[in-house]
Amino acid sequence: MPLLRLGGASHEISFDFLDAGGGAFPASVSALFCPAGEQESSIRLTVFPAVQRRRYERGLLEAREASEVARHSELETGKLREQFVAVLGHDLRNPLAAVSAGIRALSREATTERGARVLVLMEGSVQRMFGLIENILDFARARLGGGIVLTQCITDQLPAILSQVVDELRATNPDRVIDASFDLRTPVECDPSRIAQLVSNLLGNAISHGAADRPVRLSAVSTASGDLTVIVTNEGPTIPPDAMDRLFEPFVRGASSGYSEGLGLGLHIASEIAKAHDAVLDVTSEDSVTSFRLRLSAVRAS
């Protein structure tokens, strides 16, 4: 009646009538209020059987409830899977560190030229495994804990830190040329270890996908205000458009032009580190030159 008096009509109100046997009979009722003077008025009712409709609505509700249960189960399964990956990655570091220590011990002993080359290759593989484990751990932490955790400080040690990253990659990729130039005269507010990880991932990506006979270039510049710009450039096949659109997503690997190696986490982790610093990481790829550029503003980082 309130709906009728306010709007003059009501549409498809659900009722359950009692049938002759005392059971419920679902119906849909529409009503039209027809005033006919001060004393006389009427209400026109239209009653539709709603058995099929009620059954359909009940099916929708049951399907929704089942979907919510399945979604909750999937979330719990995904969380357990990510926890397992995090624990596995953490536990793998200790035996891998022992292998690395054994390789370094053997490299200090007299060996043949061939043996020395094999040890270098083994150390390179170990370092690459360390990098993969760190990326997996960071991905799991970000998924479980809400993002990459930073320990920021104002540092003037970036030249030494980035030089160490370059030296490690040169040692593990002795057949590749890495040209590095630093103009970091101003301290930068950042997490130095995370910036080193970001640069290592970008350089590793450039080495993997760049032309083997062309150098990989790294430049890092800080301004008087503390802004930081890092650029990693390689020559070779350009990134396909289908890969460019989702390049920083996890587990995404381009299907052509050689962009199909690895887990697809390195660039994602680099992007997450940039986001954690409130910085911008973008990429251009044209005319056989691919460049990744990190721009960290002192205003945003502080």
Together in a domain, 180 and 222: yes
pLDDT at 106: 86
Together in a domain, 93 and 211: no
Asked if 152 and 301 touch (Cβ cutoff 8 Å), the reply is: yes
At 68, the amino acid letter reads: E
pLDDT at 256: 41
Asked if 260 and 254 touch (Cβ cutoff 8 Å), the reply is: yes
Q: What is the CATH number of the domain that holds 103?
A: 1.10.287
Together in a domain, 166 and 256: yes
Domain-embedded: residue 131: yes
Together in a domain, 130 and 215: no
Together in a domain, 157 and 296: yes
pLDDT at 284: 93
Together in a domain, 141 and 186: no
Closest CA to 236 of 156, 152, 176, 167: 176
CA dihedral 129, 136, 199, 298 (to 10 degrees): -160
Q: Which of 121, 145, 169 is the last residue of a domain?
A: 145
CA pair distance 296, 291, nearest whole angstrom: 16
Asked if 232 and 217 touch (Cβ cutoff 8 Å), the reply is: yes
Asked if 291 and 231 touch (Cβ cutoff 8 Å), the reply is: yes
pLDDT at 268: 85
Q: What is the CATH number of the domain that holds 180?
A: 3.30.565.10
Cα 188–191–196 angle (5° rounding)?
A: 95
Closest CA to 201 of 289, 285, 127, 126: 127
Domain-embedded: residue 291: yes
- H or E element in which residue 286 lies: strand 280-286
CA pair distance 89, 144, nearest whole angstrom: 14
pLDDT at 37: 66
CA pair distance 242, 290, nearest whole angstrom: 15
Domain-embedded: residue 62: no
Asked if 121 and 173 touch (Cβ cutoff 8 Å), the reply is: no
Domain coverage including residue 274: 153-301
Together in a domain, 164 and 276: yes
Domain-embedded: residue 12: yes
Q: 255 — phi, psi (to 5°)?
A: -90, 0
Together in a domain, 296 and 218: yes
What pLDDT tens digit does each residue of the chain (302 aa) get?
A: 777 778 888 888 888 888 888 888 888 888 888 877 666 778 888 988 887 877 788 788 888 888 888 888 877 776 666 666 666 666 677 788 888 888 888 888 877 888 888 888 788 778 778 777 777 777 776 666 666 778 889 999 999 999 988 988 887 788 899 999 999 989 999 999 889 989 998 998 899 889 999 999 999 999 999 999 999 999 998 888 888 888 888 766 544 444 444 456 788 889 989 998 999 999 999 989 999 999 999 865 44
Together in a domain, 159 and 279: yes
pLDDT at 162: 93
The DSSP annotation for 189-217 comes to: EE-HHHHHHHHHHHHHHHHHHS-TTS-EE
Number of compact structural domains in the chain: 3
Domain-embedded: residue 26: yes
Together in a domain, 175 and 114: no
Domain-embedded: residue 61: no
User: pTM of this prediction?
Assistant: 0.60
